[in-house]
Amino acid sequence: MDIQLSDHFTTKKLLRFTLPSIAMMVFTSIYGVVDGFFVSNFAGKTPFAAVNFIMPFMMMLGALGFMFGTGGSALVAKTLGEGNHEKANRTFSLLVFVSLGRGIFISVLGFFVLRPISAWLGAEGALLDNCVTYGRFLLISLPFYILQLEFQSFYVAAEKPQLGLRVTVIAGVTNIVLDALFVAVFHWGLVGAAVATMISEITSGMVSLVYFARPNDSLLRITKPRFDGRALLKTCTNGSSELLSNVSMSLVGMLYNVQLMKYAGENGVAAYGVLMYVNFVFISIFIGFTVGTAPLISFNYGAQNHAELRNLLKKSLLLLSGTSVVMLLLGQVLARPLSQLFVGYDPELWALTARGFSIFSFSFLFAGLAIFGSAFFTALNNGAISALVSFLRTLVFQLAAVFLLPLWLDIDGIWLSVVVAELASALFSLTFIKALQKHYHY
């Protein structure tokens, strides 16, 4: 029996509903991980460092998909909760076309700014050439990557999270198979990894676009859009926290690379790349859970079902707390074997990566609550609080930590800075949730 947004959610039902979104985000995060694994082991350390160096910038360009997905799905799900299905479809269609158009514009612009930005960040010589090569292939598929990120939220709002998962699995498997073929078999190196990712992103975005454009049995379908400036503004302001979060994370990632070049050179950038790959997978579990719960929160907020809002918040916090502890333990156990998997060919780099991972993994204790706090207020259509929580988490706390802690702890301070930032963010999230409980009646 299908689960509907209007249902009452037990812990088991909440897990069943959010599990496809969690798996969907995990498969999405695997794109970069697979590229990194094959490039590191079959192309070498410099191309691997180039992927890590340029990836934050590419993720920043794709952040538009998170903004339209989270902000738009919150608005659409709230409209569905109010019983206005026709308006929900019009808004959904408008957002899809606007995001696609902006994605094409950003992609074209990116071709011209990619090299100067890479050079400005400190890349030179072979590292710079590899950054530009890898980045330009990904710019071709950027509009579809934006759609992929956007549709991940809309599949849940359409009560089709399992379908969203299947589409993402198809794209993820495509990426893995093509990476193995192009890099390991054909020996195309960095270009092979870039082409594999490009094809997988186009596959996911295009399949989702075709599904929603045709008659289907979900709550949403692409129809003839009608311009609605108010809906666009609401989506952008409400989703600004996710846009800000991803842009800030990308900016901070680039600044981390600058600091690591200063303290450990190319080895530091490569080690940080391994940490980010594993972090993408771990954090995607939290992000997937918030993507899965957000439409439920928005729907019940629109329906003024305060008891269910309270129920969803309580169960979400309990599930996140338990998952955080498990992820910390996994991080400690897997630090050395995962480092060996990516950079075992270089003993010095492996030792640096394993130590960094053992410190960095403590951030998993607090990251789930920090991520959920921002997404919770986005789902309640309170973009201002969501953006503030996100801004503090992804920019203010991390920037302060990454520039101050290394002064006392050297490179260990860089690994520890993420832990400090996530802890501070989790405390702020709890503060806002407690302060606004009477306002939203949860």
Give the pair of three-digit tokens for residue 121: 């960040």
Which residue has 């690994």 as its token pair? 415
User: At residue 1, does pLDDT exceed 60?
Assistant: no
d(CA 46, CA 41): 11
| Percent over 70 (pLDDT), the chain | 98
* C-alpha separations of 171 from 20, 97, 238, 362, 396 in Å: 15, 22, 29, 31, 35
32, 49, 28, 31: which is closest to 40 by C-alpha? 49
pTM: 0.71
pLDDT digits (tens, 9 = 90+) for 177-234: 999 999 999 999 999 999 999 999 999 999 999 999 999 999 999 998 889 988 998 8
39 within some domain:
yes
1 within some domain:
no
The upper half-sphere exposure of residue 34, i.e. CA atoms within 13 Å in the direction of its Cβ, equals 28
4 within some domain:
no
323, 239, 240, 241: which is closest to 288 by C-alpha? 323
118 within some domain:
yes
Q: Count Cβ atoms below 10 Å from residue 129 Cβ, excluding itself.
A: 17
324 within some domain:
yes
| Percent over 90 (pLDDT), the chain | 40
pLDDT bin (cut points 50, 70, 90) of residue 328 is: very high
5 within some domain:
no
Q: Which residues touch 359 (CB under 8 Å, ≥6 apart)? A: 412, 415, 416, 419
Arithmetic mean of pLDDT, 344-360: 86
Highest mean pLDDT among 37-41, 86-90, 281-285, 333-337: 86-90
User: At residue 365, does pLDDT exceed 60?
Assistant: yes
User: At residue 241, does pLDDT exceed 70?
Assistant: no
Contact present, 421 and 397 (Cβ < 8 Å):
yes
Q: What's the total number of domains in the chain?
A: 1
d(CA 63, CA 417): 23
User: At residue 31, does pLDDT exceed 70?
Assistant: no
d(CA 437, CA 308): 13
Q: Which residues touch 329 (CB under 8 Å, ≥6 apart)? A: none
Q: What are phi and psi of 121, to 5 degrees?
A: -75, -10
Q: Provide the domain limits for residue 17.
A: 11-440
6 within some domain:
no
34 within some domain:
yes
* C-alpha separations of 136 from 112, 190, 404 in Å: 10, 12, 34
Which residue has 């599930």 as its token pair? 319
